[in-house]
Chain A
């Protein structure tokens, strides 16, 4: 395993805290009554794109496990792992996007969104339900239906929030060697 830099460790901690706060306290009313849309996957997609697959994996795992633990409804390991896998895959898929250099081109945005779509399909369409079947033996139809709802809502929030975060972050970064003092 690659040696962790201190910055990566801190990014995992802060990333998990952000994932937690977004998932636990920020809920947007959704069109379906009495449900809400959570936005933590937009943040996770963005953090993975910046800090890479290992950070993404751990932010997803830690953040999601903390959310479950704080609600007290049992740690839902299958979904916790799926969150981690999403972070990991996004980190891999977005390796070519260099937001830290202050660049976020149209191509990068397309890459980010295509990646997130595929990753969400993999995680909520395959990883989470399959693990649920293995662990809980719940009906396949129910699990895939849940996965579908979660996948669509997460993909929409990632598309809007993740993309806006990438653009805002890249714009806020100085371009390499470009800063001269202005009076």
Chain B
């Protein structure tokens, strides 16, 4: 059988870059395959995707050598429109992809461009909308949909054209855990019913492997580092070498001294075959390992009691929520999009006023303070650093908040320099912000808040869309400032982050507080997980597989062991 996509000694260099982004790529993808392309940020996986869907060379300019054929045709000789008939792309940013004013119009978009008659538009849109279950929302605007629904619409908009190859660019980046899981299930179902070829670009390996994948292509520095089956990948050292996060159950098995071999089918917790020896090894490790330390009992810094809030359109965003934040802790606030997490932080920062309830900071009524005054003790960092940075130079950006507060010039210089040193940005202080990586920009925004000397810092999705290395970098940095005495509150749906860095999690759903407990307890409570749109950790399944009743204890033991290893 001939491959439908074939890279042969393919090299690509963008005009703006001095060095090629892709080097000497040799890769074949066959009809009906499901392939995962994996690698850290900057490894060239997005560029590879652009080559497959035709944005390269038709939208981005540069030089190439070697050959890339799709269905036997050299892509350079085609047009982006020819290629859009063969490869359908679902982009990471579903708001960017959603160009119609309503769901139906967006799904119809590609057909409209082909001048398909209206009657046929109605039929085909209705059919495909049913397939991805957005049929009830055909006349809804994108602002009325959840992130998962928007992604389904994007998918429908691509499927409607009956393309043989479906390409997903980081499909999990903006979804909460439960929705991500459903997305992977949906992709798998469509692959089977349509017999499509599926290519997924993603660095969240464990989540993608929730449904079977034929091959994993691992990329590093613009080259293909490995082209293996998931079982082979997990049995090797490749993940560690290339900075991809290992599935948690694999990490736990390794801590317990279990050898991972391809014949044990380790690609999923559902498929893995553990021998009696392996199970005993896990049990022994569990009984041996020490319990994690109990969450601290520091002084209560921020006390929100019986907070309720509704938006002008009447939607109730928070309903009688009480949260106490203790000094020195790292707290996670979790729940699906729209659960009230962001509303909570907006109320604390003074961007909105609660309808009911009280907000006290060290016993002082926050309600009496302005946004600016609250910011002196409670800092807020937005998810996207590009939405915060307004100055050209790094030092100016960090100094901005002090300047507006009328702090004397010498003191500004001193405080800015101190903060830059803490944040590891001192060597870059004279650089323009634009020269920094995303992770470094995030640091600049954190620095610009830290310089105001707050006692609590609230971060909205601090690691969204980051690969394992940047994730670790940002989180270790936050842990470091936490050690310096700053209380850290994180709004997140990253469950690894909860497990690895937080002691306590507050779970919100539909504006109500469902739980306030140790992260291990939250992630091993199937009922809670279901209601809050989270996902059970694979450690829970592993515990059961090994006959360990106390899954929560098992997870606590894992956390303790893991923190020791990382430290």
A and B touch in the complex (CB under 8 A): yes
Binding site for B on A (CB under 8 A): 167-168, 171-174, 176-181
What does DSSP make chain A's interface, helix, strand, loop or mixed?
A: loop
- A181:B15 contact, CB within 8 angstroms: no
- Taking CB atoms, residues of chain A closer than 8 Å to B17 are 177, 179-180
- Taking CB atoms, residues of chain B closer than 8 Å to A174 are 16, 434
Residue of B nearest to A178 (CB): B18
- With the chains together, A180 CA to B19 CA distance in Å? 7
Contact of A167 among B42, B392, B433 (CB under 8 A): B392
Residue of A nearest to B42 (CB): A181
- Taking CB atoms, residues of chain B closer than 8 Å to A173 are 434
- With the chains together, A176 CA to B16 CA distance in Å? 5
- Taking CB atoms, residues of chain A closer than 8 Å to B16 are 174, 176-179
- With the chains together, A177 CA to B13 CA distance in Å? 10
Q: A173: shortest Cβ distance to chain B, in Å?
A: 8
Q: B222: shortest Cβ distance to chain A, in Å?
A: 10
Residue of A nearest to B96 (CB): A10
- A171:B15 contact, CB within 8 angstroms: no
- Taking CB atoms, residues of chain B closer than 8 Å to A172 are 433-434
Q: B507: shortest Cβ distance to chain A, in Å?
A: 35
- Taking CB atoms, residues of chain B closer than 8 Å to A179 are 16-18
Q: B219: shortest Cβ distance to chain A, in Å?
A: 15
Encode B378-391 as 1/0 by CB contact (under 8 A) with A.
00000000000010
Contact of A177 among B18, B42, B392, B434 (CB under 8 A): B18
- A180:B18 contact, CB within 8 angstroms: yes
Binding site for A on B (CB under 8 A): 15-19, 42, 390, 392, 432-434
Q: A179: shortest Cβ distance to chain B, in Å?
A: 5
Knowing that A174-B16, A176-B16, A177-B17 touch, tell me 8 more A-B residue pairs with CB under 8 angstroms: A167-B392, A171-B392, A171-B434, A172-B433, A174-B434, A178-B18, A179-B16, A179-B18
- B42:A168 contact, CB within 8 angstroms: no
Q: B21: shortest Cβ distance to chain A, in Å?
A: 10
Contact of B432 among A171, A177, A180, A181 (CB under 8 A): A171
- With the chains together, A176 CA to B19 CA distance in Å? 12
Between-chain CB contacts (< 8 Å), 27 pairs: A167-B392, A168-B390, A168-B392, A171-B392, A171-B432, A171-B434, A172-B433, A172-B434, A173-B434, A174-B16, A174-B434, A176-B15, A176-B16, A177-B15, A177-B16, A177-B17, A177-B18, A178-B16, A178-B18, A179-B16, A179-B17, A179-B18, A180-B17, A180-B18, A180-B19, A181-B19, A181-B42
- With the chains together, A30 CA to B358 CA distance in Å? 37
Residue of B nearest to A10 (CB): B99
Residue of B nearest to A168 (CB): B392
- Taking CB atoms, residues of chain B closer than 8 Å to A180 are 17-19
- With the chains together, A180 CA to B18 CA distance in Å? 6
- With the chains together, A179 CA to B436 CA distance in Å? 12
Q: A17: shortest Cβ distance to chain B, in Å?
A: 12
Residue of B nearest to A102 (CB): B434
Q: B470: shortest Cβ distance to chain A, in Å?
A: 13
Q: B230: shortest Cβ distance to chain A, in Å?
A: 29
- With the chains together, A85 CA to B167 CA distance in Å? 43
Q: B438: shortest Cβ distance to chain A, in Å?
A: 13
Q: A182: shortest Cβ distance to chain B, in Å?
A: 9
Q: B526: shortest Cβ distance to chain A, in Å?
A: 43
Considering the complex of A and B, which 9 residue pairs feature the smallest CB-CB distances, nearest first? A172-B434, A171-B392, A180-B18, A171-B432, A179-B17, A174-B16, A171-B434, A177-B18, A179-B16
Of residues B19, B390, B432, B434, which shows the largest number of chain A Cβ atoms within 10 Å of its Cβ? B434
- With the chains together, A177 CA to B390 CA distance in Å? 26
- With the chains together, A173 CA to B18 CA distance in Å? 15
- With the chains together, A167 CA to B393 CA distance in Å? 12
- With the chains together, A179 CA to B42 CA distance in Å? 13
